[in-house]
Amino acid sequence: MALNLVMLGPPAAGKGTQAKTIAREYRIPHISTGDMLREAVQAGTPIGLAAKALMEAGKLVSDDVMIGVVRERLDRPDTREGFVLDGFPRTVAQATALDGLMGPRAPLVVVEVVVPAEVLVARACGRRTCRDCGTITTDANASCPTCGGALLQRRDDCEEVVRERLRVYERDTRPLVDYYRRRPTFQPVDGNQPPDAVATAIRHAVETALETAATAGRRV
């Protein structure tokens, strides 16, 4: 069965790192809407210009813009065997639109990475992003552990913006948990543990959800 995975969780929960791992293991694209928007900002596209101020203030980009970005991406041939969505949906309106985009695809698997708020603030304020390859690390070294590039702190990783992002998450994105909770393919995972343990827990959650979906399909 194809894996169509949505990674839910607040900023700095580690879902981006884990999403990349799952995407590699299942050989499906990792679709990070945050990365797509940052690329648009750097390129100065209309979407990028519209999103820049909002992102730097920790606000959400409009539903219409995000739905359009994801619709275009899911129409590409490399998503036929599945995908990992990281950063979308962030509102119930986006989740409803995503359900409409799924069509005949396999059911969505939704994994929520759960981490306490104060841990999230400490993580976000301590992390750095490689200017060259995009690797995110909390290593205190001055160069990227992957490619040796310069490590920079993103503007939206200062404490004030991080706390605002968490407030926005609780207000606008937390209702997604209620939206998805009753689905048999929804799985919460404890993200407040070492990365390898989180990866193992997510892998188990995905396998459980896929088996549940397959069993439900056989009953139809």
**Enzyme catalytic residues:** 15, 90, 127, 154, 165
Give the separation between CA 175 and CA 70, rounded to whole angstroms. Answer: 20
**With the CA atoms of 68, 104, 89 and 17 taken in that order, what torsion angle do they form, in degrees rounded to the nearest 10?**
-110
Name the 3-class secondary structure at 201.
helix
Half-sphere exposure of residue 67, counting CA atoms within 13 Å on the CB side?
Answer: 15
Of 87, 89, 36, whose CA–CA distance to 64 is shortest?
89
Contact 31, 85 (CB under 8 A): yes
